[in-house]
Every structure is written in structure tokens, then in C-alpha cells.
């Protein structure tokens, strides 16, 4: 591996510095399979839907659980920025965490296996990804130069080999691929069986579709931009929560000189969501993204935006100015982006997260 990253091979487990955030509406039986990997960590469970329902968590896990009543109580009127009846509610967990790192996973995701048959510790791979630099400024053809047995290839400028701090680690899915409703409808039987043994950096200036199913990030570096938007109950759109967060994060990471990696680790995604329901949730997004993508591709943040919060507020202004003409929804979303930052700052006074991470 490239020098300066000897910690990558066996990363520190970060037990006191990482929370696992799980949005759910059901009992968390899926945790049994993850027990050897997740039990040492603290879980933040965000209960969606009916708050009177009891969510069972298998014994032995250390967790806190927030239902809608809790969210309303903690955030007051600002709770309006947290989606209801949509897994976008997970971002509340990012906000109440006091740790440096977050790993978030869907409750229909199980432990995948390598081609060798070895069970994949997804969390460990995310930690590796986050603890070594990204390479957003130039493409390395042998993929992540910080992995064992790899390095920068001939022709990679030496001045760029330091890379950039990694803010986001985007993991992938074996079995059910993360397809949109039209593709699900056309290819109901397609399964992802290809294990691609690679981690790579999304280059600067390139957008990507960030999926929230198997995702880790550094709260200190990018947390306030990990807002999953307004989806689900009362909103005209769903299934674009993670996409929205991904577009915002990428633009802000590019501006602040941070990196985003994608590839390993895989999880096993067990159950495809209903494509007809998905189509109803998605269809406006399918139109809107044709305008949203160029908007983000062309978004420029001024130099004065030196923190994630400042970048995010600036983006919210640009959303209001340029996307509201598509639909009044974006006006509401832009306001919610501001509310989200206010709530974030309220729960995370400056430096609190860092101090806690070092405790």
C-alpha cells in the first residue's frame, strides 16, 4: 500500500467513536446475523411509523431508540425537517449521535460472503476506507493505492499522492441490486452476483448515486450535509433521500477537499421492495432528477464557505433560487435544509463531537 497508511491493514475498531444507525418499523431480528460484528458498538435505532408499536431488539446489544414522539420532543417545531414514514428518518440518528463516525444499514441487509466463503465484516472495511485517504484528483488504475498489495501506478503525480481525507465510504450490495422501479419492473429476476474486489474514489467533479443501505461517514468532516431530505408522509416523492444527500455531500466534499469512496464492503440485500409502490414514490424524482443533476453538476460554492454548515446553507439558497421553479416542493425542501442545520447546531455545539470522539 502507499506509504503513510500502515494503519489500513488492521484498522483500530473505533469502538467508542462509531455509532450504528438503523431506521426501522419492525423487530430487529436481522441483528442476530450481525452480532459478532455489531455487538461491540452502540446502536441508534430510529423507529419509523407508529410510535406506540414496540420494536424488539435482540438481547446483548447496546442501543438507544427514538420513535416519532421522541423526535418531536427533542426537536420541537424543527422536527418538521425529519421525514416520517420513510427511511429518510434515519438522519435524525446522525444528528443525535455524539460520535465521530456513523455506519448506517437497512434492516433487510445481511452478512455477505466473499467468493472464498469468508463472511464479510462490512463495518471493518468501512473503517479501513474512512481511515485512509481518498484520491479524488487523479484516477489510479489499480484502484485504492492504500490497500495491501497496491500502490500508485506509473504516471501518478507525486504531489497528489497524499490524497484527501475520506469523508464517506459507500458500500455495495450482493443479491438484490439497488435498481429504480422501472429497472426492477423490467428485470425482476436480476441479481448481483459479481463480487468486485475494489475500493475506489469518486473523482472530483463527478456525481454518483449514493445509496443509504450500507453507508459510513465521518460526522466531523461531513455530518451536517448528510441530510436525507423530505420524503414519505405528506411529501410528493420518496426513494430520493439518499440520492439527495449524496449529491449535496459530493458537491461539498469537492469544495472542501474531501474524498468519497465506493466499492467494498458488500452486504447481502435480501428483499427487493415492491416495484409498483416504488414507481409511485419515484416517478416525480425520475423527471426532476433530469434538472437536479445539471443543477448539482454546475453548483459552485464561494470561497467564504469554509465549513460544511456554511456550504449547506449556501446550497439551500441555490436550491431555492434554481430548483423551486420545477416544483414548490423544492422551496419547502430548501427551508427544511436550513431547519436541519439549525437543529444540528443546536444538538452539536461547536467542538462537542470532536471532544467526545477523543474521550
**Min CB(151)–its own copies separation in Å:** 6
**Min CB(209)–its own copies separation in Å:** 3
**Contact status: 154 vs its own copies (CB under 8 A):** yes
Closer residue to its own copies, CB minimum distance, 172 or 256: 172
Among residues 4, 6, 36, 139, which is the contact residue for its own copies, using CB under 8 A?
Answer: 139
Is-contact 101 129, C-beta < 8 A? no
Query: Per-residue b/e over 85-107, b at no fewer than 16 CB within 10 Å?
Result: bbbbbbbbbbbbbbbbbbbbbbb
**Min CB(262)–its own copies separation in Å:** 5
Cross-strand partners of 46: 23, 66
Size of the site for its own copies (CB under 8 A): 58
Closer residue to its own copies, CB minimum distance, 84 or 156: 156
Residue spans of beta strands (DSSP E) within the chain: 18-24, 42-47, 62-66, 101-105, 109-110, 166-175, 199-201, 214-218, 259-269
For 166, what's the count of Cα atoms within 13 Å in the CB-facing half-sphere?
28
Closer residue to its own copies, CB minimum distance, 187 or 271: 187
Which residues are CB-contacts of 353 (< 8 A; sequence separation ≥ 6)? 98, 99, 100, 219, 220, 223
Q: How far is CA 81 from the centre of its chain?
A: 17
Instruction: Determine the interface stretch with its own copies among 7-15, 95-103, 152-160, 343-351 (rule: CB under 8 A).
Output: 152-160
**Contact status: 157 vs its own copies (CB under 8 A):** yes
Distance in angstroms (rounded) separating the CA atoms of residues 353 and 359: 10
Closer residue to its own copies, CB minimum distance, 10 or 159: 159
Distance in Å from the first CA to the final CA of the chain: 30
Is-contact 2 161, C-beta < 8 A? yes
Q: Hey, what's the cell of 118?
A: 469468508
**Min CB(4)–its own copies separation in Å:** 13
Distance in angstroms (rounded) separating the CA atoms of residues 11 and 6: 9
Distance in angstroms (rounded) separating the CA atoms of residues 356 and 42: 14
Closer residue to its own copies, CB minimum distance, 134 or 140: 140
**Contact status: 11 vs its own copies (CB under 8 A):** no
**Contact status: 283 vs its own copies (CB under 8 A):** no
Give, as ranges, the residues between 158 and 217 that touch its own copies (CB under 8 A): 158-160, 170, 172, 177-180, 183, 187, 190-198, 200, 202-211
Give, as ranges, the residues between 286 and 345 that touch its own copies (CB under 8 A): 286, 289-290, 293
Name the site residues for its own copies (rule: CB under 8 A).
Answer: 115, 138-143, 147, 149-160, 170, 172, 177-180, 183, 187, 190-198, 200, 202-211, 239-240, 242-243, 246, 262, 286, 289-290, 293
Amino acid at each position: 500500500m502507499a506509504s503513510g497508511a500502515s494503519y489500513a491493514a488492521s484498522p483500530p475498531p473505533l469502538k467508542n467513536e462509531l455509532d450504528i444507525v438503523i431506521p426501522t418499523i419492525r423487530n430487529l431480528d436481522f441483528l442476530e446475523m450481525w452480532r459478532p460484528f455489531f455487538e461491540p458498538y452502540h446502536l441508534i435505532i430510529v423507529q419509523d411509523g407508529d410510535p406506540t408499536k414496540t420494536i424488539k431488539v435482540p438481547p446483548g446489544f447496546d442501543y438507544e431508540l427514538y420513535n416519532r414522539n421522541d423526535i418531536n420532543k427533542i426537536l420541537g417545531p424543527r422536527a418538521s425537517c425529519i421525514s416520517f414514514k420513510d427511511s429518510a428518518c434515519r438522519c435524525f440518528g446522525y444528528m443525535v449521535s455524539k460520535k465521530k463516525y456513523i455506519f448506517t444499514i437497512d434492516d433487510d441487509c445481511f452478512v455477505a460472503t466473499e467468493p472464498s466463503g469468508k463472511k464479510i465484516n462490512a463495518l471493518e472495511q468501512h473503517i479501513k476506507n474512512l481511515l485512509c485517504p481518498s484520491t479524488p484528483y487523479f484516477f489510479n488504475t489499480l484502484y485504492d493505492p492504500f490497500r495491501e498489495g497496491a500502490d500508485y501506478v506509473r504516471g501518478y503525480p507525486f504531489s497528489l499522492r497524499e490524497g484527501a481525507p475520506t469523508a464517506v465510504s459507500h458500500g455495495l450490495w450482493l443479491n438484490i441490486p439497488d435498481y429504480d422501479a422501472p429497472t426492477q419492473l423490467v428485470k425482476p429476476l436480476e441479481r448481483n452476483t459479481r463480487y468486485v474486489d475494489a475500493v475506489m474514489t469518486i473523482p472530483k467533479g463527478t456525481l454518483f448515486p449514493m445509496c443509504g443501505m450500507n453507508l459510513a461517514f465521518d460526522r466531523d468532516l461531513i455530518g451536517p450535509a448528510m441530510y436525507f431530505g423530505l420524503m414519505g408522509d405528506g411529501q410528493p416523492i420518496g426513494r430520493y433521500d439518499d440520492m439527495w444527500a449524496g449529491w449535496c455531500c459530493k458537491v461539498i466534499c469537492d469544495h472542501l477537499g474531501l474524498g468519497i469512496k465506493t466499492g467494498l464492503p458488500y452486504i447481502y440485500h435480501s428483499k427487493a421492495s415492491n416495484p409498483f409502490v416504488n414507481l409511485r414514490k419515484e416517478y416525480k424524482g425520475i423527471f426532476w432528477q433530469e434538472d437536479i443533476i445539471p443543477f448539482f453538476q454546475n453548483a459552485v460554492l464561494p470561497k467564504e464557505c469554509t465549513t460544511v454548515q456554511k456550504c449547506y446553507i449556501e446550497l439551500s439558497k441555490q436550491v431555492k433560487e434554481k430548483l423551486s421553479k420545477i416544483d414548490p416542493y423544492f422551496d419547502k425542501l430548501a427551508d427544511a435544509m436550513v431547519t436541519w442545520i439549525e437543529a444540528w447546531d443546536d444538538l452539536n455545539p461547536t467542538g462537542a463531537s470532536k471532544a467526545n470522539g477523543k474521550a
